[in-house]
Structure 1
């Protein structure tokens, strides 16, 4: 089992990587399985950003959003290929899961 510090370090690193990465080219306005990819990214990033800016706290509303959007991302990950910037989405998923699991 990972220590709290290891989890926080991993979240901080993934968040820094994600925040510095460009959104995958050509996906603005794209949907997969009816899910708008820009909104999916923005919702998860917003929840992570709020958590990071509040010292690790995620309020109930953002927690519900994070859980719902993480489930959607998990559902569409198998549909995302190299042209969709799959590593971008895989990193976002790892980040979302770490944040969600840290709050349990």
Structure 2
């Protein structure tokens, strides 16, 4: 990666903040996953990770929900924008977890 992880995550975060939540995803729960809650909790964890290390609770939430999102992403292919939005969120969550782990080393 050519840019430092924090700068890369910050750039992705700025892009994401301009993306509206996908239409009709407030009603979707693929594989029982509430996409609104997943979005809210992951975005909160990512936001905190931009400023410093995560506490244990946020770290566990970030890891658990990142895995959940990774599992449901393939089922979102029927909505191009929804897939783009949640793929972007997943990329940020993976990067936030990587950044947080590096801070703990």
Instruction: State the TM-score bracket (shorter-chain normalisation).
Output: 0.7 to 0.9
For 1:95, the equivalent position in structure 2 comes to: 92
For 1:33, the equivalent position in structure 2 comes to: 31
List structure 1 segments (4+ residues) > 6 angstroms apart after TM superposition: none
For 1:59, the equivalent position in structure 2 comes to: 55
Gap runs ≥5 in structure 2: none
- TM-score, normalised by the number of residues in structure 2: 0.87
Deviation, 1:51, is: 2.2
Alpha-carbon distance in 2 for matches of 1:56, 1:8: 10
Alpha-carbon distance in 1 for matches of 2:19, 2:73: 18
Alpha-carbon distance in 2 for matches of 1:45, 1:74: 15
Deviation, 1:82, is: 4.5
Gap runs ≥5 in structure 1: none
For 2:18, the equivalent position in structure 1 comes to: 20
> Aligned-pair RMSD on alpha carbons?
1.5
- TM-score, normalised by the number of residues in structure 1: 0.88
- The alignment covers a number of residue pairs equal to 100
Name whichever structure is richer in helix by fraction. Answer: 2
Deviation, 1:58, is: 1.0
2:9 equivalent among 8, 11, 18: 11
Deviation, 1:47, is: 0.6
Deviation, 1:94, is: 0.5
